[in-house]
Amino acid sequence: MTHIRTAHERGITTIALDSPANRNALSAALVAELGAELSRCGGDPGVRAVLLTHTGGTFCAGADLKSPPDPAAFVTLMRTVVELPKPVVARVTGHVRAGGLGLLAACDIAVAGPASSYAFSETRLGLAPAVISMPVLARMEPRAASRYFLTGERFDAAEAAGTGLVTLAADDVDEALGPVLDGLRRSSPGGLAASKALLTATVAEAFDRWSKELTARSASLFASAEAREGVTAFLERRDPAWVL
């Protein structure tokens, strides 16, 4: 594995996104490695829960614009997180953008630090938060989702917690995670799996209903002229042609 790091302690497997060259962006390789490791954790009786975190100052920069994953593969990754019979807890101390917010929203619990920031940057690239809307809209307060989906504004950890995108904003993330991980270690494997299934039923239904349509919509948007201009402008560090 070259894009993630793993460790295990007292029933908790930590998976750290570790692709510094592209700020932990969702390349095809990272999506494949992360999905494989999550599936392994799901079948390992020694794993009570998964802690998903990152190296560096970015949790996930969204899709790797130079080597984007197939939209269907990313949908499968998010669904793996949602349907894993083990709780997945996000530890976020850095920036989260676009597709990274879909991965974050798929997690069951998320604790965010004061240096973290968030943005649905798709509209500024000629895209839309299509496939990530399935887990995200199940978490976020609707008016907040409307604002941030449409404007692409950045917001901080406190705002993310207020909208429901993360569970808790904390000055000391690891201190805040202490009782969470302790609670998971004290819970039975079967009880956790059954409880998670109750909590994720609505999101799973959204995947059942919308995955095919939103995957096609995402692929169409990525192939559009606006997206080509938006991505080119981003890589060239200039404003796209439509900026007023």
Give tens-digit pLDDT for 188-229. 999 999 999 999 999 999 999 999 999 999 999 999 999 999
Q: Which of 186, 196, 199 is nearest to 86 (CA)?
A: 196
| 189 found inside a domain | no
pLDDT at 187 over 80: yes
What range defines the domain where residue 48 resides?
4-172
Element (H, E) at 117: strand 117-119
| 102 found inside a domain | yes
| 49 found inside a domain | yes
Write the burial class of residue 239 (CB in 10 Å: 0-12 exposed, 13-18 middle, 19+ buried): exposed
Number of domains in the chain: 1
| Placement of tokens 């597709």 in the chain | 99
Please check whether residue 15 is in contact with residue 5, taking contact to mean a CB–CB distance below 8 angstroms: yes
pLDDT at 1 over 80: no
pLDDT band with cut points at 50, 70 and 90 for residue 66: confident
pLDDT at 114 over 80: yes
- The reported pTM is 0.96
CATH code (residue 23): 3.90.226.10
- Residue 10, φ and ψ in degrees, nearest 5: 45, 55
What are the strands of the beta sheet with 49-54, ordered from one edge?
Answer: 4-9, 12-17, 49-54, 88-92, 109-112, 168-169
| 161 found inside a domain | yes
